[in-house]
Structure 1
Amino acid sequence: MSERRSFSADEARNLLRRARTGTLGTLNAEGGIPYASLVNLATDVRGCPVILVSTLAWHTRNLLADPRGSVMVAEMPPEGDALTGARVTVMGRFSRVEGREVSRRYLARHPAAELYAGFGDFAFWRLEPELAHAVAGFGRIETIPANELFPSADEMIALEEGAVQHMNEDHEDAIQRFAEKLLGATAGGWKIMAIDPDGADLRRGEEVLRLPFGTPVYSGGALRSCLAKLGEQTRV
């Protein structure tokens, strides 16, 4: 039995799921000096970071020359020392990705990006993780291998689009209750735009909410059970 981590892989991955921005680390194409920049951030179904960047940006030119990079996300505490807040850095290599699924999940987190996501000089890049370093305050520091932080999610990848469509077409009332009773928003107009093992992204216009599942789900049966339980909670 493996030792229990002080900052679990699930906690670290959910930190990535909640983040809408992150710090991107690349190697400067001129001289190789590390370069840090701010990017909007989304995740694929497994949880791997996805960015949308222009070829005009320094960080994109850097990735074209050397795909090695990292993404760091952090949650600042409401007061006190910022270094007591949780953060995770994922290291690996970036590669360009295409497809409706990537675009849908990214725009679920960043609806304003619809204005430029189709421009010819913009492209989606995904970080293929190799290692992660997670910190959640004193004594909660972990180095986590990629396969632990991002376990296989093949069944969820295959069913995600159908599950999103089914929820929006057949369970609209439940989605409104999720937004109102679980996430503190006003009901009306919400749609589920993306689903993954850790939760769902809800969107209304340019408003975005993250619905966490609490416990990861990796099968259709587990997803149905999770959503049914959330539905029961909101009927009370």
Structure 2
Amino acid sequence: MNIPAHAPLHLLHTATVGTLATHARQPEGFPYPSVLPFAPDARHRPTILVSRLAEHTHNLHTDPRAGFLAVDAPDGDVLGGQRVTLLGRFEPVGSSPELARRYLRYHPDAERYLMLGDFTFWIMEVERLRYIGGFGAMGWLDGAELDPLPPLAVSEEDALIAEFGRRLSGAGGVELLGVDRYGADLKRNGVRHRFAFDGARSDTGTLHAALEVCIERHAD
């Protein structure tokens, strides 16, 4: 196994869409792949918003086991790009204001789906994952190895977004979507970017210092 530090985690914050593979009910047992947008939660797990009428929703209610593939190949070279396959179980979660607010930062167009009242959030509990980052950079990890640190509290992330998001917007027109202990998710001109810190930030002081560097890099 030769996986660059935190590479699978950063990839889950870079990709905007993923491929969800559920177990088909009819014909029974076949993989049923579907492409849909997702957002990482505070623990970097894929969060999806799906209609109760969708085929993959019915499949998950019958069998929550699923595979989820995220890919980053900006030049179109899929085999030379990064990809991570997650194996685990999706569970439906209630649409709390905090969850909806975070998801809509990543996918603001989804607000119209929430207004329909037919869509539900599901979050994947990752059990195993396989990362491939190019020739020789690949391997398996247990889900718990993705991030051993406790996630930021919602209130802490909200405070960081309020403070540094305002400064980023004023400095370079960049929108701050999310912050975690390993990086910040940004959007400029409709395109998402991942600003990876040079190491894990375990306390408020080091998080502030890393975000100051982020502002310096994006203030042009």
Bigger shift: residues 19-28 or 217-226: 217-226
1:26 aligns with 2:22: yes
SS in structure 2 at match of 1:102: helix
Give, as a single letter, the amino acid of the residue that structure 2 aligns with 1:66: D
TM-score (ref. length: structure 1): 0.81
1:173 aligns with 2:170: no
**Equivalence for 1:210:** 193
Change (3 A) 1:152 1:117: farther
SS in structure 2 at match of 1:63: helix
What is the rounded CA distance, in whole Å, between the counterparts of 1:96 and 1:199 in structure 2? 27
1:88 aligns with 2:84: yes
Q: CA deviation at 1:27?
A: 0.5
Which of these residues, 181, 198, 219, is aligned with residue 182 of structure 2?
198
What is the rounded CA distance, in whole Å, between the counterparts of 1:158 and 1:144 in structure 2? 30
What is the rounded CA distance, in whole Å, between the counterparts of 2:74 and 2:196 in structure 1? 23
TM-score (ref. length: structure 2): 0.86
| Deviation digits for residues 32-69 of structure 1 (CA, Å, limit 9, x no counterpart) | 21111001011001111111000111110000111111
What is the rounded CA distance, in whole Å, between the counterparts of 1:9 and 1:233 in structure 2? 22
Which of these residues, 36, 41, 66, is aligned with residue 38 of structure 2?
41
Gaps of 5+ in 2: none
Equivalent runs, 1:1-236 vs 2, <5 Å: 6-8=2-4, 10-30=6-26, 31-76=28-73, 78=75, 82-98=78-94, 99-168=96-165, 172-177=166-171, 180=172, 187=173, 190-202=174-186, 207-215=190-198, 216-233=200-217
SS in structure 1 at match of 2:42: coil
Q: CA deviation at 1:197?
A: 2.3
Structure 1 stretches of 4+ with a deviation exceeding 6 A read none
Give, as a single letter, the amino acid of the residue that structure 1 aligns with 2:192: L
Q: CA deviation at 1:153?
A: 2.6
Bigger shift: residues 101-110 or 149-158: 149-158
Gaps of 5+ in 1: 181-186
Q: CA deviation at 1:200?
A: 2.9
What is the rounded CA distance, in whole Å, between the counterparts of 2:195 and 2:4 in structure 1? 16
Bigger shift: residues 213-222 or 45-54: 213-222
Q: Percent identity?
A: 34
What is the rounded CA distance, in whole Å, between the counterparts of 2:205 and 2:180 in structure 1? 14
